[in-house]
Structure 1
Amino acid sequence: MKKLKVLFVCIHNSARSQMAEAFLKKYGGEKFDVKSAGLEPGVLNPLVVRVMKEEGIDISGNGTKSVFEMFKNGELFKYVITVCDATKAEKCPIFPGVNKRLHWGFDDPSSLEGTEEEKIVRIRLIKEEIKQKIQHWIKEMEGE
């Protein structure tokens, strides 16, 4: 069976798209070839790295990647899923040459305010939202 190529995209590839990629790799098994990228690649959010480690997933070695580099390299994906928070007017990128585009809006961990512990609590909630969405989507895909 040919793997479905999936790309998760957000602004900096520092948090949401990284979490989504990690969860699809963990729960999707061999069915998916998954990557993540950003419009303006930044630095991995250390609090997101910490929260994912609590989940038993180490993303600390992941680099952030440019969606434009992937496009220039001719990479094609069956699904491109943006995970930007459209309610905060983030510019969700568009990736040309895609069979299916989906948008799943999640709050941006890098825009959270408060103490480190308050941010960690909120990032855990965002992580759970992303994990549940991934698990639900995998079930949907199995039905197709």
Structure 2
Amino acid sequence: MKGAPHPATAGTAPERMPSAVLFSCSFNSVRSPMAEALMKYLYGHMVYVDSVGVRKQEIDPFVVEVLDEIGISVEKHKAKTFDDLEDTSFDLVVTLTPEAQHRALEMTRTMSIEVEYWPTPDPTAVSGSREQMLEAYRQVRDRLMAKIKERFGPLAPAKV
């Protein structure tokens, strides 16, 4: 959003900003693409960001909707797996599900890549009205946004 103030705020004792971050979950259809989109929105001018799943599935329409609510588009997202990665030179892999954590540790066993586990609820497990389901996705979105800001800290100005 041009002209609008950037939504990131100072985090608490952020660590060094990695040059490349990979987010991973079970299907690359809800949590990891949401985290990828949020990270790109906040820090995309500073770091390369991608996402994968242990398996792949089309992006969940509720993800598209709750990200669109805050001005972020994920319509170009193409689901992929760890095996689909063309390059594995990430500084940090953030896993959002136990299954992705296991796969990331397996993949990085012989590499010098930091792996962090951020347990993240599965909004697809929520049933009820459409609004109740959307609220579960919003909660995951907001939780991931807060965790990303906390982990990566205040924004540096974009280079012009």
* TM-score bracket for this pair, using the shorter chain length: 0.7 to 0.9
Q: Which has the higher contact order (CA 8 A, sep 6+)?
A: 2
> What is the rounded CA distance, in whole Å, between the counterparts of 1:111 and 1:122 in structure 2?
9
Q: Which amino acid aligns with 2:92?
A: Y
> What is the rounded CA distance, in whole Å, between the counterparts of 1:91 and 1:21 in structure 2?
15
Q: Which residue of 2 aligns with 1:77?
A: 90
> What is the rounded CA distance, in whole Å, between the counterparts of 2:120 and 2:84 in structure 1?
24
Q: Which residue of 1 aligns with 2:42?
A: 27
Q: If you compute each CA radius of gyration, which structure gives the higher value, 1 or 2? A: 2
* Gap regions ≥5 residues in structure 2: 1-16
* Gap regions ≥5 residues in structure 1: none
Q: Which residue of 2 aligns with 1:130?
A: 144
Task: State whether residues 79 and 98 of structure 1, in contact with CA within 8 Å, keep that contact through their aligned partners in structure 2.
Answer: no
- TM-score normalised according to structure 1 size: 0.84
Q: Which residue of 1 aligns with 2:126?
A: 112
Q: How does 1:1-144 map to 2 (within 5 A)?
A: 4-70=19-85, 73-84=86-97, 86=98, 90=99, 92=101, 93-94=103-104, 95-96=107-108, 97-139=111-153
Which protein is richer in helix relative to its size? 1
Shift of 1:140: 8.1
Shift of 1:109: 2.1
Identity %: 27
How many residue pairs are counted as aligned between the two chains? 135
Q: What's the Cα RMSD here? A: 2.2
